[in-house]
Amino acid sequence: MCGRFVQLPVVNFGQPGMADLAPGLAEIQSSFNLAPTQRASVILDRGEGRQVTRMAWGLLPFWAKAKGLQGSTINARIETVATKPAFRAAFKKRRCVVPMAGYYEWSVSTEDGKKDPWFIHASGPLLAAGLWEDTSPLLPDGNLGTFTIITGDSSGVSADIHDRMPVWLQAGQIDDWLAAGPDDAMAMLLASEPPAMEAYRVSRAVNSPKNNREDLLQVVA
């Protein structure tokens, strides 16, 4: 799964066709330990062109009766994203991209049995496939909606830490992902090739979502 991630302003993304998104990406609020229900920046298209906007993490479909559902909808498994009631409507027509500077996963320490967080990242920004829903009456007035991150089997360094990871997209796939029909969107997910990534252990301070500061990204020997 993906239960915490990092977002930082994206400057000079260096990919063609991103000029319209550049201002929004550059204004992403720095967050070094984003946790479920917190707001993060996502790329979507409401029918008026691509935009970067902030939404709460944990998808709330229109029929949701309790805000607590968010705890179980922060991730959508690729195996069931097209059929599970919480996600299937959004998968058909409300897809988004979640830019990340990296994300955290945990392993159990052989020394004391406690959980050690690892920061997994690439040389540049990561783009995770996601889904979004519009405003929900369960959230405070003025909310801009909710989102989830699609996950699949891990590979590379991530596989050594956890068996799931976000499904990654390339910058050139953003338009197709946002606009494709369900069958083509699923084909994109299944054909995803993750970028080369690295992982290193970080402070257990990451374990508490109350901690959100830059030094959380420092290497722990």
pLDDT tens by residue, 115-153? 999 999 999 999 999 999 997 878 777 677 999 999 999
- Position 142 scores a pLDDT of 66
With cut-offs at 50, 70 and 90, classify the pLDDT of residue 200: very high
Domains of the chain and CATH, by start:
4-217 (3.90.1680.10)
Q: Does 14 score more than 70 pLDDT? A: no
List the one residue out of 3, 6, 33, 36 whose CA is nearest residue 208. 33
- Position 177 scores a pLDDT of 97
- Position 58 scores a pLDDT of 96
Looking at 7-21, 94-108, 180-194, 203-217, which range is the least confident one? 7-21
- Position 19 scores a pLDDT of 81
Catalytic residues, by residue number, are 2, 105
List the one residue out of 148, 2, 138 whose CA is nearest residue 63. 138
Q: Does 1 score more than 80 pLDDT? A: no
What contacts 23, CB < 8 A, 6 or more positions away? none
CA quadruple 89, 194, 177, 31: dihedral positive or negative?
Answer: positive
173 is written with which tokens? 């796939």
Q: Does 17 score more than 80 pLDDT? A: no
- Write a three-state SS string for 140-201: CCCCCCEEEEEEEECCHHHHHCCCEEECECCHHHHHHHHHCCHHHHHHHHHCCCCCCEEEEE
Looking at 18-27, 43-52, 118-127, which range is the least confident one? 18-27
Average pLDDT over residues 204-216: 97
Q: Does 182 score more than 80 pLDDT? A: yes
Q: Does 196 score more than 90 pLDDT? A: yes
Average pLDDT over residues 73-79: 97
Average pLDDT over residues 154-181: 93
24 is written with which tokens? 């929004």
